[in-house]
Structure 1
Amino acid sequence: MYKIAIIDDEEEVREGIEDLIQWKDHGFEFLGGFENGNEALEAFENQIPDLVLTDICMPFMDGIELTRHIANKYPFTKVIMLTGYDDFEYSQQAIKLRVYDYLLKPFSSKQLRSVLDKVKLEMDEEYRQKEDLNKLKLQLNQSLPLLKERFLENMVTSYTKIEELTEKLDFFNIRLIGACCVAVVIDVDDFGERSMSQTVTEKELMYFAVYNIVEETMGGDKGGIVFRNRFDKVVVILSSEDKTHVYELAQSLSEETRQCIEKFLKFTVTIGIGDPSSSPQGIVNSFQKAIAALDYRFLLGKNNVITLADLEVNNRTRIEIYPEWEKKLILAIKTGTGKEVNAAIEECIRNLKQSFIPMQRCYFYIHKICLSLVEAVIGFDETIIFEDPLNPLAEMYSFKTLDEIELWLKKICKQAVGVICSQRNNISMSKMVMAESYIKENFSNEMISLNDVCRHVHISPSYFGTVFKAHTGETFIEYVTRIRVEKAMELLKRTDLKTYEIAHETGYKDPHYFSLIFKKKAGVSPTEYREKTRSDPQHEVEED
């Protein structure tokens, strides 16, 4: 069932379309109708539609600008424009944005049903192509020769003289766009619901499906050199004439690839990005950094795009890792207090995540905790804790994330509680403080965006969204809106500025949209708020 949303500033049009169609009969789930593009984009943060029906001419944000936002942020969402005959110039812009189709107002229910059926068939075909195992088998048989993959793996893992490297690149007909290179490594987290029932052949086909999608999103006209290494990871070498450009390209294509695999294959991958190099020989160091970034999945969890720049800063605050956890856990084990055992495990995992220490050091501390568990149960049946008492720690090294380690520790301690709500480390916290400061200094700029903040604090957008929400309890849009409304309240109480002047001071170009947002957040219009606070001093104190 595909998800559909309608955006039109005329309520009767939205309701008319909603009532006109039996959505489920056409394979769609109706998400809702929205008055303008801003409302729609805010709603899409929680639930992404597969298809959007939008009017072109709307206040605050028209259909063209909304489509541009959708194309940038949700590349797999299709857009159908609802337009009048006088909107021809807009329609030309829509074509440039690769809008799927458009309907001329007024249109009949038959016309709308026809378009819906057409777009559904196309989306069904897209899914079918990605899942068609017979096609995947054929593509597998036509994959790059083994010698080429061996060369590419050797290229990223060991230093090669420039003359030999150039000669082999020519031999295999591999073309670099420029001298600046960056390595990207894609690793399957797991196969989701398919993991338990898959045969070896099916798993190989799914690995190749990942390779195929990476080739489509990063290879071809994007210039990426894609291959699969001996550890079932897909590696991409991206190149450009400029280091900054190739690094930004790696981030944007990696995020698109992550979304595409999750959407079409129904499982997740984690992607590590290395540092950009100024020469092809530097790809060895970039690859090592990409693998190191991938290791941080152990701390951050699955389904992320990770760069070391997101994580590493100087002057990291040292966190005491082990003694207190060991004491609490051993005391709980000896007293048989299940609640305290659970709390000790959660504290252990939480602090390991906050420390952002390398994966091998995490294993070291968990190893010590497990040995303490063994010591604590000497004289008891050790099979209660470990499935294999002779080698109790072997299973630990099969896990890819600290979340899995947590479940394992709870399992061996016979506890069954929910997962912990982790807090990010001091590094991430300091970057979130920088982000808040930047927003508070620049909220009056109507063009401020999440990407602006990410560039300021040097964090990728996908990582920033997760950490910022954990730090503030709000999304980026919710936070900026709250800061702007609070500043507007202050100006309404303390100054005689006109409403349109306050709107400009708080980052809103359109005074009417400012008033709409203010009333939505404050419960009253700006004028009513000013009158109330000035006529009721006690109310003003309470607002402060």
Structure 2
Amino acid sequence: MYKIMLVDDEAEVREGIRKRIAWHDHGYECVGDCENGMDALEAAELFKPDVVLTDINMPFMDGLELTRQLSERLPWTKVVILTGYDDFDYAQQAVKLRVNDFILKPITAEELIGVLDSIKRELDEEKDRRENLVRLERQLRESLPVLKERFLERMVGTSIGLGEMEQRMAYFGLNLPGPDYVVLAADADHFGGAAPDADRELLRFAFHNIVQEIAARETASAVFRSREEKAVCILSGSLGERLFDRAQALAEEIRRSVETYLRFTVTVGIGLPVAGLTDIRRSYRSAVAALDYRVLLGTNRVISITDLEGRRNLSAETTGDWEKRLVVGVKTGSREETERAVASIVSQMKQAAPSIEQVYIRIQKLIVSLLNALEESGGGGHPFGDAANPITEVYRFKTLDEIEAWLKELCGDSIRMLAEKRSDMARNLMAKAEAYIRDNFADPSLSLKTVCEIVHMSNSYFSAMFKARTGKTFVEYLTGQRVEKAKELLAATDLKSYEIAAEVGYADPHYFSVLFKKATGDTPTEYRQRAAAEREKAP
């Protein structure tokens, strides 16, 4: 029922209208009647009527002034002017005040009912619109988490303009100010045992929830669950403020927490650090590519793509599982994996019994993927020979057995080329690290982390590579450089022991003496005395 009020200074008019209209039959409830505009305004604020039927010419406050006041205080209330004055000026003012209808006295019950029915239809439509809007707003609020996840997935997976990206991020309340970004992709290795599907879904939810809780400690981050059930985290910050170190620490905490609290393992891939929102796709693709290295490195670990392939744009996107296994095997240097993938590819084709033309097309697609993998991994060139066209080479073969042997040989050559390239890269980076240590050993703040940042490697990976090259740990190598310089200064200068300690990077002279004696068997004083004695004996 809609509420209606009557306003007229003639009591018989008000009474006549009240008695002549069957209000409930037409969807109304008459909540009151007033003899002037001032009383009507007070009653309207109390009853909040949907419709006010008012005369114009009344004492204290006329109908037009009442209409103006109602439009300010109760803007949703409909007003119908009922007057005996056939005055065009009144009609003009009523239109300006957005009066719903303007009718002249005397009016029959049928005419008034027609007006009220028309207003009721209008009120019904407005009510429906309001209810639809409320329902849509509620549905939107309920759908926001899913919409937010789909936007984040679209942001890392497709090309979105910077303007749209920033607008949607503001709408979803995402705080990713940049200027640099790193994407982490975490994926369950296995759930243990033969867990029912319902339990697995619960475990996936718990896994995603752990990632969200851990990432929430980072003020500039966003997490979503991809359609492939991976938990993806975008970290924002500055590489100068150790963004990559934060990503590694976050990934390790995720791995450890899932294993501790959920009793299954996950592997976390860390993508390339990138600059700018529009380049996040590259970091995401390389994070997913890092996960592929589980094939070689095993599960329950953090895998950084920069440890494996340098700061390059890596992608394991392929046209099928058979192709993906082969490309990953080549990129990870697993000859056994590539040969198994080639055998699987050929076996599938044999079972399908395609024509030789279909075989050529399928193998050519595979060769293109292999060439892309070599380029992305920094291999350069191709293993086909300078004179050969990689795409047409397949036409030399007439049987699948010949093609299988050729593909295995190509994969082996590709692995060798990549190994040589990566070995050169590793040698160059280790040489760069050694040169940096030699040039900066006198800096007391020189640390393993500092050198790792120079060569863009994680601490653990650098330590393993450095020990393999030099036969020493970072600390042993740094100490050796400092001790050699100290021996030189002790033998050739009159500097005090504490002065030499400061010259070679030790703020604590006592600590310097202990290290020196451990390395040479002599204290600094003993070494200086022996060096002086040897000079005196020299001819």
Q: TM-score range by the shorter chain?
A: 0.3 to 0.5
The one of the two structures with greater contact order (alpha-carbon pairs below 8 A, sep at least 6) is: 1
